[in-house]
Amino acid sequence: MLPELSELLGTSPDAAEQGKLTLLCDAKTDGSFLVHHFLSFYLKANCKVCFVALIQSFSHYNIVGQKMGVSLTTARERGQLVFLEGLKSSVDVFFQPREEPHPLQFLREADAGSLQPLFEFVQEALKPVASGGAAWRCPVLLVDDLSVLLSLGVGAVAVLDFVHYCRAVVCHALKVHSYSEVYLSSWLQSWFIKRLEEEEEQHVDYVKE
């Protein structure tokens, strides 16, 4: 966790905001340090965290986390952290029977049109614990990063639907209703469409060369 950044955002682990959607978008500058900040921040805030990591390995996030004062290994062992390692799971999905569901099942589908298995993984990870289990402050979902899904052939609308339903799961767990959901969905859709157009332009330039 970066104390200076927390102070700038007006937050602290003792007063973590709930029911909020934060979209990190970087251009020409690596903003990955923000992912590490929020991961360590919510672990220190005693939140239940589901982390869908599509960019780096568990060991990478764990090493950085230790430098920021948290142990992802310990958090995972105590049930506070549910970690989906995309790099490793993407290999496993091709060697298990097709009948067995897998969060990244879209990788072996021709059209890669559905993220329902990934959503069900998130839903299961963030469901309220039974009485007698560990009581976490609030559920948190981190995805690093969404643009990878677009690069793997998932449509912008499917990714938008995934964000929408994941947000609904978190809000349901918090028993809050978000009135900003329509605005955010519209904004996100514009962003994804822009990303697709940029990727198509880059592909055309590559073909011309």
The answer, yes or no, to whether residue 199 has pLDDT greater than 60, is: no
Nearest in space to 23 (alpha carbons), one of 141, 152, 139: 141
- pTM here is 0.77
Laid out side by side, the sheet with 81-85 consists of 81-85, 48-53, 139-144
pLDDT digits (tens, 9 = 90+) for 88-138: 887 777 776 666 678 888 887 766 668 888 999 999 998 876 655 567 888
Q: What percent of the chain has pLDDT over 70?
A: 68
Q: How far is CA 201 from the centre of its chain?
A: 27
Left if phi > 0, otherwise alpha if psi is -120 to 50, otherwise beta: which for 10? left
Which of the four pLDDT bands, split at 50, 70 and 90, describes residue 198?
low
